[in-house]
Homo-oligomer: A and B are copies of this chain.
Amino acid sequence: MTFTEFRPLDEKHLTEYIKATPALSGKVGNSFDDLKIKEVGDGNLNFVYIVVSPAGSLVIKQALPYVRCIGESWPMTKERAYFEALALREHGRLCPENVPEVYHFDRTMSLIGMRYLEPPHIILRKGLIAGIEYPLLAEHISSYMAKTLYHTSLLYRTTTEHKRDVAEFCGNVELCRLTEQVVFSDPYKASQYNRWTSPYLDRDAEAVREDNILKLEVAELKSKFCERAQALVHGDLHTGSVMVTHESTQVIDPEFAFYGPMGFDIGAFIGNLILAFYAQDGHADQGNDRKTYKEWILRTIKETWNLFYKKFTALWDEHKDGSGEAYLPGIYNNPELRQLVQKKFMQDLFHDTLGFGAAKMIRRLVGVAHVEDFESITDSSKRAKCERQALDLAKMLLKERRKFQSIDEVLSSILQQQ
């Protein structure tokens, strides 16, 4: 059997495919009798197979030409796998500690072979729901974001490199359009796909659709998303795109990658931690009131931003005489000015982060795709109470983001509201 044309794989054909592909068959020790294959895709879009043999393991991810959770009625280019592979490789090169290795990519088959993130790795969102602390999470994710965002921006690259890569990732337009729709548009209008915890949040969802100031602000963020090619962003960096153990943090699933605003990634991650925070009251029980855990989440939010700030500016300082074309050494190499420039850059980025983070929160509360953090709260009145708090905070953040000077002030707002 050859695979010269696209076809959706099943477990039988998957074995054939691995046999025929040296880069993959080597990973399972070239023995195919004891292969265990399991489809585990719990995501919204694609099929993911875990392949394990006594000699080794790997993961196969395949994109089909539609949105998995909706079906063939919502077509979506399978070329997204190409951009996912490109981003995995680029981010993996920049931050190998936190990105699974790509063993193989097949554009015809829209298929990626990559490292299996073996147990006890679990999806971070599930760990957050279970109330598990990850002491190294902020340290790791801040490194990942600082390294990937810094090195793909004009702080590090030349205009020539930048425009070449921007042009390439313009090809991932269908995925960008999907984000535009579900993050920046649908929540702010009547849409058949929107959902919320009804009837409790009916008025809240309506209020979002009628809030002129909110719509004004979300338009500014959308225009940054569509127009500002600041760095190669992951594009979908929520807590369901991160797998963790106590020692390891791995970022998967960058199929939405493109050159966009850095704050979109940082905001996605922080916004989803804030969602996890607000969901905790719904998971509290007699054995665990989740109070300590909520404090850990807030601490992790704070450390994520502060460590990102530190690492990003450290990279900037380190490469200040490098070939990055944004701030040429001949102009900006005086310490006072560099500090001034960095402070302004980081403050703008902070405000973008809060804005995009808030927009990502809102869309998970009144848009098409919700998060398990809340969905797993079975008592819907309890769930609605948690969700409303999250929504109120997000709306305030989106509108008032420019007033915040530090992440501490954001945490204070959250605590005051409790």
Contact = CB atoms under 8 A, between A and B. Distances in A.
Interface of A: 154, 159-160, 162-164, 166-168, 170-171, 173, 176-177, 180, 185, 188-191, 212, 215-216, 219-220, 222-223, 226-230, 325-328, 330-332, 334, 336-337, 340-341, 344
A331 B176 CA distance: 19
B170 A164 contact: yes
| 4 residue pairs, one from A and one from B, having the closest CB atoms | A167-B170, A189-B330, A163-B170, A167-B167
Copies of the protein in its oligomer: 2
B229 A337 contact: no
Contact of A159 (B160, B177, B212, B228): B177
A341 B219 CA distance: 8
B215 A337 contact: yes
24 contacts: A159-B176, A159-B177, A159-B226, A160-B173, A160-B177, A163-B171, A164-B170, A164-B173, A167-B167, A167-B168, A167-B170, A170-B170, A185-B330, A185-B331, A188-B331, A189-B328, A189-B331, A190-B330, A216-B340, A216-B341, A219-B326, A219-B341, A223-B326, A226-B325
Given A212-B337, A219-B332, A331-B188, A325 B180 contact: yes
A336 B213 CA distance: 11
Contact of A326 (B159, B170, B171, B222): B222
A163 B180 contact: no
Contacts of A336: 212
Contact of A170 (B154, B166, B177): B166
A163 B159 contact: no
A159 B180 contact: yes
Query: Could you say which of A162, A170, A326 has the most chain B C-beta atoms within 10 Å of its C-beta?
Result: A170
A172 to B, nearest CB: 8
Nearest to A172: B163
A189 B215 CA distance: 42
Contacts of A325: 180, 226
Query: Could you say which of A190, A223, A331 has the most chain B C-beta atoms within 10 Å of its C-beta?
Result: A331
A340 B337 CA distance: 36
Nearest to A177: B159
A330 to B, nearest CB: 4
B177 A173 contact: no
Nearest to A344: B216
A339 to B, nearest CB: 10
Nearest to A212: B337
A219 B180 contact: no
Given A185-B328, A189-B330, A226 B160 contact: no
Query: Could you say which of A168, A173, A336 has the most chain B C-beta atoms within 10 Å of its C-beta?
Result: A173
Contacts of A328: 185, 189
A226 B326 contact: yes
A68 B109 CA distance: 50
Contacts of A229: 227-229
A227 B226 contact: no
A20 to B, nearest CB: 34
Contacts of A226: 154, 159, 162, 325-326
Given A166-B167, A215-B337, 9 more contacts: A154-B223, A154-B227, A159-B173, A159-B180, A159-B226, A163-B171, A164-B173, A212-B336, A222-B326
Contacts of A180: 159, 325
